[in-house]
Amino acid sequence: MKNIKIQLGVLAIVFFTSCSPKIPFTQAVREKYKLTNQELSKLQFYISDEVTLKNGTPTEIDKTVEDGKLIIKTSKNDELVVIKSKTPGTVEEAVDLTTLKVAYEDGMNKGLVFMSKGDKNGYYRLSGVVDGGRYKISYNNQEYYLQAGAGAVLLFKKKSLKDIQQTEKVAKGKKVN
């Protein structure tokens, strides 16, 4: 009977800890657990919000004169990169003690930069260079502008396991002599 209770207890612990919620990754977590670059590269990260990047090729202008009219044809090709909310990613590079580059797909330089520096909660937030009031982000060796997801933060799962050793002694009772 005791073994069945122990087994049920272990199963309950496994069940409840396997469904760990995704929580923001913070500078405090990184410092508290002294996470090394190698440990960071083994952690599964997620992005909190959908991020959309837009890269447009320069507008091409083609002009002709037909029937006494000036006809101007303009064309522009836009490329969008969309990273959906909760997409898993891995650390491509630990840039410094407050900056991580996280990749959400295979390939070189396909990582987004997240920084905790300057965030009041210590969250690792999506980072870019401000250019004309818009965020410019380098992705896949090209420059993109952030269209959506400026508030995106890194998420991860944390599971706490406690190893408590407990011995049990059952008193047999004492009878009067």
Query: Within its chain, how far is the Cα of 158 from the centroid?
Result: 13
Q: DSSP character for 48? A: S
Share of the chain above pLDDT 90, in %: 53
Which pLDDT score is estimated for 14? 43
pLDDT at 58: 61
Locate 155 and state its tokens: 């998420």
Compare 69 and 9 and report the one with higher pLDDT: 69
Tally of CA atoms within 13 A in the half-sphere of 32 that contains its CB: 6
Pure H helices in the chain: 2-18, 27-32, 37-42
Structure tokens at 64: 């002709």
CA angle (124, 120, 94) in 5-degree steps: 25
| pLDDT tens, residue by residue, 7-61 | 444 444 444 445 689 999 999 999 999 999 999 999 999 999 999 999 876 666 7
pLDDT in the model for residue 84: 97
CA 94, 100, 104, 108 dihedral sign is: negative
Question: d(Cα 158, Cα 161) in Å, to the nearest integer?
Answer: 10
Q: How far apart are CA 159 and CA 177, in angstroms?
A: 54
Higher-confidence residue: 141 or 165?
A: 141
Q: How confident is the model at residue 87 (pLDDT cuts 50, 70, 90)?
A: very high
Domains of the chain by residue range? 37-53+80-157
pLDDT digits (tens, 9 = 90+) for 102-153: 999 998 889 999 999 988 999 999 999 988 888 999 999 889 999 999 999 9
How open is the CA angle 66-76-56, to the nearest 5 degrees? 165
In this prediction, residue 160 carries a pLDDT of 75
